[in-house]
Amino acid sequence: MTEKKRRWAMVIDLRKCVGCNACTVSCKIENNVPEGVYRTWVKEIEKGDYPQVTRFRLPRLCNHCDNAPCLAACPVQATYRTEDGAILIDYDHCIGCKYCMAACPYDARFINPVRKTAEKCTFCYHRVEEGLLPACVTTCVGGARVFGNINDPESLVAKLVANNPVQVLKPEMNTQPYVFYIGADQNIMGARYDNLEKGE
């Protein structure tokens, strides 16, 4: 059997997420992300009526999709895929047309107000290349975020994905995301439209 190519992936075990936002903060510090925009953030919802109420959290980041709509949308090939599957942006070639931001079904991209180009999570590629883990993974207090090569059967991500019921965001979009969630509630994974229909 030939060895498969390395493919970076992340598993987020929501049973272990406490919603402390340490990932949000560490990402901002590590990647020098300006005020008001986020490469990773934590969505939080409350489901049910008192006394039957639960709070759910969903850490969000770029899904580094196999079939990435942003990659198809970019008119100047500033968005590209590395050999190990991460989707990155060449900031020297991005013209800032924002078409990728319209194309991403996950709201993962934003315009860096300082650099004036599109930006998003890179899986901390600069760290990963040096053999380190992404900043959000190292800082996660509950150990909810796990990062690794999903094509290596010995890696923790491969084991977690194989042995747990996992979900991805919006599978119907055929984007084939590589961020997997364990224990995600359906109500927090997409958008909610009931407020809009009430005429808000």
Give the binding site for another protein (CB under 8 A): 38, 41-49, 55, 60, 69, 71-78, 93-99, 101-107, 110-111, 116-118, 172-174, 186-188, 190-197, 199-200
Is residue 136 within 8 A of residue 145, CB to CB? The reply is yes
Cα–Cα distance between 178 and 153 in angstroms, integer? 16
58: closest CA among 15, 89, 92? 15
Structure tokens at 63: 């899904």
Cα–Cα distance between 100 and 85 in angstroms, integer? 18
Specify the residue, 150 or 180, whose C-beta has the smaller distance to another protein.
180
Specify the residue, 25 or 71, whose C-beta has the smaller distance to another protein.
71
Beta carbon of residue 122, minimum distance to another protein (angstroms, whole number): 18
Cα–Cα distance between 172 and 84 in angstroms, integer? 24
Specify the residue, 102 or 162, whose C-beta has the smaller distance to another protein.
102
Beta carbon of residue 185, minimum distance to another protein (angstroms, whole number): 9
Specify the residue, 81 or 159, whose C-beta has the smaller distance to another protein.
81
